[in-house]
Amino acid sequence: MKDQLITPQEIRDQIWKELRRATQDRHHDWRTPVFATSGLSSAVNARTVVLRAVDSKANKLQIYTDARSSKASEIAIQEQAIFVFWSSKLSWQLKVQVKATLITSGSQIQQTWAQVKQTASAKDYLSSFAPGTSVPSDRQTGDEDQTFLTHFAIVNAEIVEIDWLELARSGHRRAKISHDSWDWLVP
């Protein structure tokens, strides 16, 4: 497939196709990218996240988080963030610079939570304990909040730029891609 994708438009289309596929296929390499933020101490903080939705027309990616998480606090301070995707099948790396927005209330939260609350991962957003905090010895991990208060939040990430890299024996290729531009780069 790599050698067949010659034009920038074919590569761009394949990137979006793979990103959409990653939201549906739990085994897709791009399902769990690294998401890096900064803000609280000006240090970079990176973690693996689950890609939940993509919108090629709006040029956006979406993940879920706990509103009390460090990524939520960091996005509130610094909206610039980056996703890093690697696919061994494609031999493609994407470094996706984004402008991240945290959504904690409103119709988008209500509609998405209505779906999420039916899944096993719902308990992650109902815990009395914030992510990364110590659990008191007299409480169990994952103890659900008795008031059923949800801490569910959505991160909408508007793509600013994609750094696409293909590793191939026949020669590596790299490009800088924005919503309306394409520049070939030295790999």
Of 11, 21, 186, 37, the C-alpha closest to 94 is 11
Between CA 142 and CA 135 the distance in angstroms is 9
Domain extent at residue 19: 2-123+145-185
Residue 56 lies in a domain: yes
Give the model's pLDDT for residue 167: 96
Between CA 133 and CA 145 the distance in angstroms is 15
SS3 51: coil
Residue 136 lies in a domain: no
Residue 140 lies in a domain: no
Residue 131 lies in a domain: no
Q: 81: which residues sit within 8 A by CB, 6+ positions away?
A: 35, 36, 37, 74, 75, 97, 98, 99, 100, 157
Of 67, 63, 64, the C-alpha closest to 54 is 63
CATH number of the domain to which 14 belongs? 2.30.110.10
Residue 128 lies in a domain: no
Number of domains in the chain: 1
- Can you read off the two tokens belonging to residue 185? 């780069």
Region 144-167: mean pLDDT is: 86
Q: Whole-model pTM above 0.75?
A: yes
Residue 138 lies in a domain: no
Residue 18 lies in a domain: yes
Between CA 10 and CA 28 the distance in angstroms is 20
Task: Give the mean pLDDT of the chain.
Answer: 91
- Can you read off the two tokens belonging to residue 159? 């793509």
Between CA 182 and CA 186 the distance in angstroms is 13
Between CA 175 and CA 162 the distance in angstroms is 8
Cβ pair 37, 45 in contact under 8 A:
yes
Give the model's pLDDT for residue 39: 78
Residue 143 reports pLDDT greater than 70: no
Residue 132 lies in a domain: no
Give the model's pLDDT for residue 148: 55
Residue 41 sits at φ, ψ, to 5 deg, of -125, 15
